[in-house]
Structure 1
Amino acid sequence: MIRSSLLVVLVVAVAGCGSGQAKGDLLQRVKAAGVIRVAQTQANPPWNFLENGKPAGYDVDVANELAKRLGVAKVEFVPSNFQSFIAGVQAGRFDAVISGQTITDERKEQVDFSRPYEVNGISIFVAGADTSINGVADLKGKKLAVTAGTTQAAFAKKSIPDADIKTYDNATLGLTEVGRGRADAALVSRFQGAFLAQKNSLAVKPAGPLLESEVNGISFAKGSTAFKQAVDQALGDMISDGTLSAISKKWLGGLDMAEQLKGV
């Protein structure tokens, strides 16, 4: 009887250990694999996009630098979208999302986040000749373009219920609709909208003040304690040694993201 009870205890203990090892910690797994799979929309400039067929932008440079500091040799960039990021992390289709994902209480219930690595803000973009829209109140009954699955889309549904909200796969499509007169306005990040307007010669402009500020983090599977600690340390070092400032100035029109993150 004693031997039987002891055997049960040992089986339970081994099963518990096996479960933990099966899950493992993300940091250990990516180091062993020598590659970290990073999800991005690849259609969200200047944060992340394809340039001559290769991933480029602020988020891409952050991901590459982060991998180097984690001791991981390669970054595999996986195309995805805001609607699929959380499910993809949970299913293990990629290891982390580095794609301007806003830290929200709802998302924190489903995935873990790093410390903030960028801040952003929602702007209204209108056609270049439009002077009638300068704030949320002016959007009542208007055709409003947003990117599906983003916090801009959530803001529009919550704060502008009387608008005719149209969703698109990326911000370029939404801004193009505004420029062509098929939508009255678009909700886009201030930096992204300005970048896209210049790059694609779109006749759009920001209107009014920022509607809402966003704090963005890197997301990954819940319970990845060692990974989070290593990522937070690496990001902190990138901020203190000037690396994040250099990356942001390269892609964000001279903006120093390290300065923007102070006090966040």
Structure 2
Amino acid sequence: MKKISTVLFATVLAFSLSACGNGAADSNKAADPTKPANQTGAVKKYMIGTDATYPPFEFQKDGKYVGIDIDLINAIAKEEGFEVELKPMDFKGIIPAITAKQLDGAIAGISITDERKQVVNLSDPYYTAGLSLVVREDNTTIKSPEDLKGKTIAIKKGTSGAKLAEEFGKKYGAQIKYFDDSPSMYQEVANKNADVTLEDFPVVSYKIAIDPNSKLKIVGDRLNGDLYGIAVSKDNAELMTKINSGLKKLKDNGKLEQIVNTYMAKPAK
């Protein structure tokens, strides 16, 4: 009986020591800052949509996404301590993707409108644009909206330009032809398959400056004064606060102006 008790005692003691030993190991493992489970200070990453066919705001160069909007969102992320994962897509799908929670936000030359404010939050303005009439370089008949009677307007789907084109269509009896991207819209006018398009002044002026073969020209005064903002999901107040905070810092320290001037300066041909 004594022998059995001694063996039993030894077994219990060994088990206890083993349990204590494993507990210490587990404790040390949990405290190891290199383990993913303990990365409480991880940097947040947000999925941000953009339209990669909208120079000088966003476009591809040497396999990389560049432009005013790309540099701006990266600068804001650096100021506010978060990371950005860009998701290029057609402009018309950006707002629906935010409302469907496929994107946290988007920066894509998005005009601030009351209609868009109904479905997404929009940041403080970061650029003042404005739509212009764009025709083929040899066109002498269109100089103002009043000249659009019976004409064909090529326009990109889902843009503020499309909304204004539709208003002109009703007012002047103009036909509307829709496209998914800006290059196709421009080409339609250059090929004389459409008489005119409506595009943001900085965008089309940049295009004409760098492409002597565009066959396009800007006519008349700017049609409006659009303000660009960054769109964010309605239920992501944290990201909206970070964006507005970072944007203010970049305005105050002059970096926003530097970013714009990098792309808006007259490019070499």
**CA drift at 1:230:** 2.1
**For residues 59-98 of structure 1, what are the structure 2 equivalents within 5 Å?**
59-72=69-82, 74-98=83-107
| Letter in structure 2 aligned against 1:103 | I
Bigger mean CA deviation after superposition, 204-213 or 218-227 = 218-227
Question: Are 2:178 and 1:167 aligned?
Answer: yes
CA distance in 2, matches of 1:206, 1:232: 33
* 1:125 equivalenced with 2:137 (yes/no): no
Q: SS in structure 2 opposite 1:186?
A: strand
**Matched residue type, 2:249:** D
* 1:235 partnered with 2:247: yes
User: TM-score, normalised to structure 1's length?
Assistant: 0.80
Secondary structure of the 2:97 match is helix
* Aligned residue identity for 1:132: T
- Give secondary structure in 2 for the equivalent of 1:160: helix
Shift in Å at residue 33 of structure 1?
Answer: 5.4
- Distance (whole Å) between structure 2 residues aligned to residue 90 and residue 144 of structure 1: 29
The count of corresponding residues between Structure 1 and Structure 2 is 223
- What is the alpha-carbon distance in structure 2 between the residues aligned to residue 88 and residue 75 of structure 1? 16
Cross-structure match for 1:15: none
Q: Distance in 2 between matches of 1:180 and 1:159?
A: 22
Q: Which residue in 2 is equivalent to 1:214?
A: 226
Distance in 1 separating the partners of 2:189 and 2:265: 23
* Counterpart Cα distance in 2 of 1:117 and 1:242: 12
Say if 2:168 and 2:174, in contact at 8 Å, map to a contact too.
no
Contact 2:43 2:81 in 1 (8 A): no
TM score, norm. by length of structure 2 = 0.79
Structure 2: how far apart are the matches of 1:221 and 1:33? 19
Secondary structure, counterpart of 2:98 in structure 1: helix
- Confirm whether residue 189 of structure 1 aligns to residue 237 of structure 2: no
- 1:44-68 CA distance string (max 9 Å, x none): 1111011122111100000110111
One of 158, 162, 173 as aligned partner of 2:167: 158
3-state secondary structure, aligned to 2:92? coil
Q: CA RMSD in A?
A: 1.6
Given that 1:136 and 1:160 are in contact with CA atoms closer than 8 Å, whether structure 2 keeps it comes out as no
Q: What is the distance in 1 between the residues matched to 2:150 and 2:182?
A: 21
The aligned counterpart of 1:253 is 265
One-letter code aligned to 1:109: Q
Aligned partner of 1:198: which letter? A
Once the two structures are overlaid, the 10-residue window that deviates more, 56-65 or 75-84, is 75-84
Q: Tell which deviates more after alignment, 31-40 or 83-92.
A: 31-40
Alignment of 1:37-76 (within 5 A): 37-72=47-82, 74-76=83-85
- Percent same amino acid among aligned pairs? 30
Query: Which one-letter code corresponds to 1:137 in the other structure?
Result: E
| Structure 2 gap ranges (5+) | 1-40
SS in 1 for 2:125: coil
Counterparts of 2:192 and 2:242, CA distance in 1: 47
**For 2:105 and 2:238, how far apart are their aligned partners in 1?**
14
Tell me what 1:203 maps to: 215
Q: Where in structure 1 are there 5+ consecutive unaligned residues?
A: 1-30, 255-264
Q: What per-residue deviation string (whole Å, max 9, x for no partner) do you get for residues 125-171 of structure 1?
A: 11112121111010111111111110100111023321111111222
Work out the CA distance in 2 between the residues paired with 1:39 and 1:45. 15
Q: Alpha-carbon deviation of 1:32?
A: 4.5
Kept after mapping to 2: 8 A contact 1:172/1:196: no
Matches within 5 A, 1:10-49: 32=42, 34-49=44-59
- Give the distance between the partners of 1:128 and 1:116, measured in 2 at CA: 33
